[in-house]
Every structure is written in C-alpha cells, then in structure tokens.
Amino acid sequence: MEFHEAVRAHHGCTQFQTRPIPDDKLRAVLAAARLSPSQNNIQPWRFIVVRDDEQKRKVAQACPKGKPVAEAPVVIIALAVEEDIPVTIAGYISAYPLDVAVAIHTLRLAATAEGLGSQWIVDFHEEKIRAIFGVPEGIHPIAVIPLGFPSEVTAPTNGGKTMDDGRKSQNEIIAYNEYPW
C-alpha cells in the first residue's frame, strides 16, 4: 500500500477476524517498528508478541475494555526501557516514552499497509500486565495493541469513516512564523 493511502486508511480497529496473521506479515510489521528513529538511537522499546490464547486471555482481563484484545489473533505489548534514556526535553517530559510512541505508530502504520487492523490501548492495569509477563522495575508497559485482519464491520476504514473525521482543521493546528492561538 502506498504511504499516503496507508495514512488515510489507518484507523483504530476493534473487531477482528479469527483468521491468523501470516508469519511474513507479522515479521514485516515488527521489522518496520525496529527501524523507528529514537533519541541518540537508543531504541528504548521492547515488544512482547502474544499469540498464546491463555496469555491473551489474561491480557484481555487486564484491560477494562478487553474484548478486542481477547478476539485479536495477536496482541503486542509495547514497553519502554526507562534506564536507557533518563534525559528530559526542556524539563518537561522524558524522551523515552516519545520514542516508544513513534515505534508504536510505525508498527501500526505498517500493519495498515499489510491490510491488518490494530488499536492503541492505554487503558490497562499496569500491575496485572507486569505480573503476566514478569516485567521488571524500570521497564514500563506503554500500550496493548490488538492486531489482526479487520472484521467486515470495521474494514477497510473503521465503518466508512474518512481520514478527516474528528480531526481538527489545518488552520486550527498549523501556523507559520508565529504562535497565533
């Protein structure tokens, strides 16, 4: 899929077919995430790929709205490695969660380009996710990402939505040469 087509087609997917994800598609999605940029190229992301039904069931139970997680054939847990990059940007925010966010979006855009749907879920019980996988201190679960072929209800653009749905206009978010808001 061409880049702009993938950007426009990209939407959250919450209903998945039971059809498994072919290994080559999953590999392509993970390979894209690996190539993401990060501050000082530290790459403070880790991804746990969950295909085991029992593990998936536990992850779904750790999410208050876990139905898509239970139904998706693959669930990816994105984690941030805190000790890799403790510096802050302008004293406001650490860079490492931003790096992981970039990688998550690269992964999800690649999934869209492969004809897969995904969702970015931050609504999870951190301690439960830690316990399921034995995640140590200093490593932070950042997102739970169900992944699979979209069901007909959501394919190809989340029920027929267009890319502009719900998005602010360019005038609201882009300015040139000054801060006018």
Ligand X SMILES: Cc1cc2nc3c(=O)[nH]c(=O)nc-3n(C[C@H](O)[C@H](O)[C@H](O)COP(=O)(O)O)c2cc1C
**Residue ranges that bind ligand X, judged by CB under 6 A:** 11-12, 119-123, 158
Q: Shortest approach of ligand X to residue 20 CB, angstroms?
A: 23
Beta-carbon contacts of residue 33 (< 8 Å; ≥ 6 apart): 45, 47, 103, 104, 106, 107, 110
Q: Shortest approach of ligand X to residue 166 CB, angstroms?
A: 6
Of the two residues 38 and 158, which places its CB atom closer to ligand X in the complex? 158
Q: Shortest approach of ligand X to residue 56 CB, angstroms?
A: 17
Q: Shortest approach of ligand X to residue 157 CB, angstroms?
A: 9
Q: Shortest approach of ligand X to residue 42 CB, angstroms?
A: 20
Of the two residues 43 and 158, which places its CB atom closer to ligand X in the complex? 158
Of the two residues 23 and 36, which places its CB atom closer to ligand X in the complex? 36
Beta-carbon contacts of residue 38 (< 8 Å; ≥ 6 apart): 44, 45, 85, 95, 99, 102, 103
Of the two residues 12 and 156, which places its CB atom closer to ligand X in the complex? 12
90: helix, strand or coil: coil
* Calpha distance 68→145 (Å, rounded): 9
147: helix, strand or coil: strand
Beta-carbon contacts of residue 176 (< 8 Å; ≥ 6 apart): none
How would you classify residue 116: left for phi > 0, otherwise alpha for psi between -120 and 50, otherwise beta? Answer: beta
Of the two residues 27 and 146, which places its CB atom closer to ligand X in the complex? 146
Identity of the amino acid at 118: S
